[in-house]
Amino acid sequence: MGKLEGKVAIITGAASGIGEAIAKLYLAEGARVVLTDLPGHGLEAMFSGPNVHCLELDVTADDSAEAVVAAANAKFGGLDILVNNAGIALGKQFEDTTDEDFDRIMAVNVRSVFRTSRAAVPSLKARGAGRIINLGSIMSGTGGPLLAAYGCSKHAVAGLSKGMACDLGQYGITVNYLQPGSIWTGMSKPFMEDAGFRQYWETKAPMGRIGDPHDVAVAALFLATDEASFISGAGLAVDGGAAIRF
């Protein structure tokens, strides 16, 4: 029997990278899943079957949060787990970052987390328990060059997750956030193609390598299980130890 047998999950940004890895692992562990990503990203071509429902949408759209939660209730009869994975990165000098850059990264990385989580709460409460897992970053607790706006958004995810955990614990709902380090994904590829950047992160992590999306997915699986019922408001680092090293 899978670790998520009988559970219903929403995973945003599931067409690639970490979101794709989480979706595949949750399905393998018996979950029924509602997956979202932007139109044209090939989500429906990647996932099919009776335990999957795909929605092509922009998580920043006004009606997206309500639409995805409604789909979970209509297709699978409820909701147990929400994984707010959708996100974007921006590598830009602070003084070159425009208002539009900042607003967009906050809309995707923070506002969508807030809105989708808020929309999910009634369905999670109806179950008598639930899991919300947000995607933070190693930048949720530190900073780095060219990452002022991105780091700001991921600090916000950490703060939002802790506040949500305080308010929702009374309903049996846990809220935690993952803190991936440098992970090989389509989003990180432009950075990884810089040999100096890649070597820096390989050297910084005591494990001596760049992470794989599956490394993050197994952490997301643990936080979704019944075994994690007393863990809330926590940030789980999945960075090969990079954040602890000078």
Q: Which of 150, 171, 177, 200 is catalytic?
A: 150
What tokens were used for 31?
A: 């979950």
DSSP 187-229: TTHHHHTSHHHHHHHHHHSTT-S-B-HHHHHHHHHHHHSGGGT
Residues contacting 42, CB < 8 A, separation 6+: 15
What's the start-to-end Cα distance of the chain, in Å? 43
What tokens were used for 172?
A: 């049996």
User: Is 26 a catalytic site residue?
Assistant: no
**Residue 68: left (phi > 0), alpha (psi -120 to 50), or beta?**
alpha
What is d(CA 127, CA 122) in angstroms, rounded to the nearest whole number? 9
Confirm if 213 and 180 have CB atoms less than 8 A apart: no
DSSP percent split of the chain into helix, strand, coil, nearest 5: 50, 15, 35
Which residues are catalytically annotated? Answer: 150
